[in-house]
């Protein structure tokens, strides 16, 4: 899809889809944050474990309840549960209907249409129960006043404290406050929300891969114009624009290694732990030509590599006491996000095949304390248009300076930046920003004044590969690399604290060195991972593990994989498929999954001896194109998930007759495609990230 008019139509269509199919989400509170894990049960509200209330919130609800001065015990019990629904882990779906906040939760009403995803909606009529029990009971400051609900009814007066004074009938009352579960909400039946599952669906027999490229790349970004093109980048600092063949066409990537879209190798410091870590193209790239690269530089070699050291007085860190790390001085190496343009005098950005390597703007520059664990992925939020920047804790065994929990440090954080509104130099200095960006008004610092304004979420060791679910943008998934024990995947929420270094995954972590001080477990409300694996589960010979976060599979190419979240381990090459059950509950079950080579793969794709699995080498990243097909970027090449029948896997949902089954004979490669990189590039690829994300 090309041109302004076509792109506008695409955006309109996307917005219409959002209206027709409202996104549902995992447990979420009314403040758009994830529930907290309670250390002790709430006293007034009977919630334990996960809740949207802390003890202070519970006390406030108790005071509100006491102010109602309800004399009838049965009615009082019901009203207490209604108020305490604010603490339910699903309170956002209980109290927000069609984006309109409510004073009380949606009360289950058996006369409304029901949704089988909630366990006992079909027979429970909690709304009628509230009316029958409380209709003649005096309630001061009643939350059921028509003015609060925006419904027609009797005039509101401080004397009218009975339901019969406020509403003419049970029908009117339940029309206003009752309803049934829908895709966008759930109703309250007097008990904590429990969603029914139909049993965890059986895992697919396996998924099938075809190899379409020999190059070794670190990141992939679908072209924002919606076409069958994508950008691929390597660690050394080059980005290529490639045309992706249709599934089943027997074609390989059309990519000319000798002609990169942009070559930034003069700016990028490349080593086992350093290089170009991520690329992101502005959502309006087809019109404005803006794109961004995240990379490392060496201030001893690059004049423009001058950023403030992340070890500084604001975080009670003295660079002179850090010592050297692998021979490097503290903050010799920097993390950079820079902006570039594909605008030219003769072509539209969407048609550009090359871009100038000169920076348009330096978005972010920061000196690193050590030589590992500095993340670097960047991506644009699909609904807000802001740039998300994933940053590791900066390295060192066990995050010795506790940067990940320090709210005045951006290390061990996910940042959220506005790169469309660039403040003046004076404003940047006043705010103490790290570069040329502004702060979105709804970043979490507006609620937590201790947080740096850039921070969206905290408590990460080294987030490596995050993605937004293309069908449910509220599912922001991130893989986070562990240290000694556990690799994790998290659902990221605004202001969430994901525990490191107090926790490594679900386990308490005890650092061996703490010059930067400690954070007590009682002082945080950690959000634990929704999936992951112990190091003992993967390659015991290597003795290491490193999480590679992936994507929800949303393509129709493999219908049995649809809706599952895929993630992998760098070293062992193991791949997991995770299933959420019930849907939108945040409860996942994961299992390693078999994967094989298509018998008619465009490029030779070998198998692991003694196994049906493909021999992928190291898995560096996942990718996704504009058709939602999923790719694996590995040390041995680029692979795409294709119909399972091409590997003789059984999938009852696949219409095999509709799937093209090419001849086993491999077609000749295009003369301009998939030439092997020079030997030095291949050897570099084999070392890729072994230190930076381990």
The conformation of residue 100, written as its DSSP 8-state character, comes to E
The conformation of residue 314, written as its DSSP 8-state character, comes to G
What's residue 406's pLDDT? 98
Q: Which residues of 379-417 are buried (b: 16+ CB within 10 A; e: fewer)?
A: bbbeeeebbbbbbbbbbbebbbbbbbbbbebbbbbbbbb
- Whether the Cβ atoms of residue 24 and residue 580 lie closer than 8 Å to each other: no
pLDDT reading at 515 higher than 60: yes
What's residue 47's pLDDT? 84
With a pLDDT cut of 70, the percent of the chain lying above it is 84
**Dist. CA 11–CA 321, nearest whole Å:** 52
Closest CA to 165 of 185, 140, 190: 140
**Dist. CA 327–CA 41, nearest whole Å:** 50
- Whether the Cβ atoms of residue 105 and residue 187 lie closer than 8 Å to each other: yes
- Whether the Cβ atoms of residue 505 and residue 386 lie closer than 8 Å to each other: no
The conformation of residue 417, written as its DSSP 8-state character, comes to E
- Residue 293, beta-bridge partner list: 279, 338
User: Average pLDDT of 54-68?
Assistant: 91
Closest CA to 448 of 419, 408, 483, 396: 408
3-state secondary structure labels for all residues of 462-495? CEEEEEECCCCCCCEEEEECCCCCEEEEEECCCC
Q: How confident is the model at residue 658 (pLDDT cuts 50, 70, 90)?
A: very low
What's residue 672's pLDDT? 34
- Residue 590, beta-bridge partner list: 578
**Dist. CA 30–CA 14, nearest whole Å:** 25
**Orientation angle between helical segments 126-134 and 73-84, nearest 10 degrees:** 140
Contacts with 178 (C-beta within 8 Å, 6 or more apart), sequence order: 106, 107, 108, 109, 111, 112, 126, 127, 187
Number of Cβ atoms within 10 Å of the Cβ of 592: 17
37 vs 375: which has the higher pLDDT: 375
Q: How confident is the model at residue 543 (pLDDT cuts 50, 70, 90)?
A: low
pLDDT reading at 408 higher than 90: yes
Q: How confident is the model at residue 468 (pLDDT cuts 50, 70, 90)?
A: very high
Q: Which H or E run contains 298?
A: strand 290-298
Number of Cβ atoms within 10 Å of the Cβ of 135: 17
CATH number of the domain at 207-687, please?
2.120.10.30
Lowest mean pLDDT of 152-156, 166-170, 178-182, 405-409, name the range: 152-156
Tell me the per-residue pLDDT of 208-250, one tens digit each, with 9 for 90 and over: 999 999 999 999 999 999 999 999 999 999 999 999 999 999 9
Which residue in the block uniquely carries the two structure tokens 């995803």?
A: 117
- Whether the Cβ atoms of residue 566 and residue 553 lie closer than 8 Å to each other: yes
pLDDT reading at 673 higher than 60: no
Strands in 54-111 per DSSP E: 96-97, 100-101, 107-108
Phi, psi of 81 (to 5 degrees): -65, -35
Tell me the per-residue pLDDT of 546-573, one tens digit each, with 9 for 90 and over: 999 999 999 999 999 999 999 999 999 9
Tell me the per-residue pLDDT of 134-170, one tens digit each, with 9 for 90 and over: 999 999 988 998 765 543 333 444 555 799 988 999 9
- Whether the Cβ atoms of residue 611 and residue 593 lie closer than 8 Å to each other: no
Query: Which tokens sit at 370?
Result: 């050590």
With a pLDDT cut of 90, the percent of the chain lying above it is 65
**Orientation angle between helical segments 73-84 and 55-68, nearest 10 degrees:** 150
pLDDT reading at 189 higher than 80: yes
Cα–Cα distances (Å) from 412 to 146, 438, 513, in that order, read 47, 20, 17
Phi, psi of 176 (to 5 degrees): -80, -40
What's residue 544's pLDDT? 79
pLDDT reading at 119 higher than 60: no
Query: Which tokens sit at 525?
Result: 């409300």
User: Average pLDDT of 598-627?
Assistant: 90
**What are the sequence ranges of the domains in the chain?**
25-179, 207-687
Q: What is the CA radius of gyration of the chain?
A: 27
Query: Which tokens sit at 675?
Result: 């030439």
């Amino acid at each position: 899809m090309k041109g302004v008019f076509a792109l506008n139509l695409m955006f309109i269509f996307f917005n219409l889809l959002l209206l027709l199919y409202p996104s549902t989400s995992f447990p979420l509170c009314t403040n758009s944050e994830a529930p907290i894990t309670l250390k002790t049960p709430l006293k007034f509200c009977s919630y334990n474990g996960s809740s949207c209330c802390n003890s202070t919130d519970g006390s406030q609800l108790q005071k509100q309840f006491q102010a109602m001065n309800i004399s009838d015990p049965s009615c009082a019990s019901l009203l207490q549960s209604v108020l305490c629904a604010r603490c339910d882990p699903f309170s956002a779906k209980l109290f927000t209907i069609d984006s309109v906040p409510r004073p009380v939760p949606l009360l289950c009403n058996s006369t409304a249409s029901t949704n089988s995803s909630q366990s006992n909606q079909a027979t429970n009529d909690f709304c009628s129960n509230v009316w029958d029990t409380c209709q003649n009971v005096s309630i001061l400051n009643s939350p059921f006043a028509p003015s609060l609900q925006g419904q027609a009814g009797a005039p509101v007066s401080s004397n009218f404290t009975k339901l019969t004074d406020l509403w003419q009938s049970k029908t009117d009352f339940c029309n206003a406050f009752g309803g049934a579960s829908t895709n966008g909400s759930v109703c309250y039946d007097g008990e904590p929300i429990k969603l029914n599952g139909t049993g965890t669906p059986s895992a697919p027999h396996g998924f099938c891969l075809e190899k379409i490229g020999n190059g070794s790349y670190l990141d992939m970004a679908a072209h924002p114009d919606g076409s069958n093109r994508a950008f691929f980048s390597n660690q050394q600092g080059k980005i290529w624009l490639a045309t992706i063949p249709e599934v089943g066409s027997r074609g390989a990537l059309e990519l000319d290694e000798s002609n990169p879209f942009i070559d930034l190798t003069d700016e990028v410091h490349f080593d086992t732990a350093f290089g170009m870590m991520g690329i992101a193209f502005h959502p309006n790239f087809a019109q404005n030509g803006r794109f961004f690269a995240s990379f490392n530089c060496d201030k001893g070699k690059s004049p423009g590599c001058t950023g403030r050291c992340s070890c500084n007085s604001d975080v009670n860190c003295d660079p002179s006491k850090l010592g050297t790390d692998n021979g490097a001085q503290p903050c010799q190496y920097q993390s950079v996000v820079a902006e570039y343009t594909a605008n030219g005098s003769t072509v539209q950005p969407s048609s550009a095949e090359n871009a100038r390597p000169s920076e348009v703007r330096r978005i972010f520059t920061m000196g690193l304390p050590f030589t590992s664990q500095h993340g670097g992925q960047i991506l644009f939020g699909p609904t807000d248009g802001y740039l998300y920047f994933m940053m590791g804790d900066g390295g060192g065994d066990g995050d010795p300076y506790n940067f990940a929990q320090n709210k005045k440090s951006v290390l061990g954080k996910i940042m959220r930046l506005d790169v469309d509104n660039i403040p003046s130099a004076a404003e940047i200095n006043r705010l103490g920003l790290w570069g040329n960006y502004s702060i979105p008004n709804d970043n979490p610092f507006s609620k937590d004044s201790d947080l740096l304004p850039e921070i969206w979420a905290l408590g990460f060791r080294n987030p490596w590969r995050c993605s937004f679910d293309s069908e449910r943008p509220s599912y922001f998934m991130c893989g986070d690399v562990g240290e000694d024990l556990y690799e994790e995947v998290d659902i990221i929420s605004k202001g969430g604290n994901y525990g490191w270094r107090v926790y490594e995954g679900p386990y308490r972590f005890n650092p061996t060195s703490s010059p930067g001080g400690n954070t007590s477990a009682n002082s945080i409300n950690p959000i634990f991972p929704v999936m992951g694996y112990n190091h003992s589960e993967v390659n015991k010979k290597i003795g290491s593990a490193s999480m590679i976060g992936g994507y929800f599979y949303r393509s129709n190419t493999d219908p049995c994989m649809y809706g599952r979240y895929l993630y992998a381990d760098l070293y062992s090459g193991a791949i997991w498929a995770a299933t959420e059950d019930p849907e939108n509950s945040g409860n996942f079950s994961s299992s390693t999954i078999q994967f094989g080579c298509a018998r008619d793969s465009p490029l030779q794709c070998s198998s692991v001896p003694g196994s049906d699995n493909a021999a992928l080498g190291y898995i560096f990243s996942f990718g996704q194109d504009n058709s939602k097909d999923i790719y694996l970027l590995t040390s041995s090449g680029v692979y795409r998930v294709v119909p399972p029948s091409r590997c003789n896997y059984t999938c009852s949902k696949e219409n095999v007759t509709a799937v093209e089954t090419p001849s086993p004979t491999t077609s000749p490669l295009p003369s301009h495609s998939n030439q092997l990189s020079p030997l030095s590039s291949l050897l570099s690829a084999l070392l890729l990230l072994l230190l930076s994300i381990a």
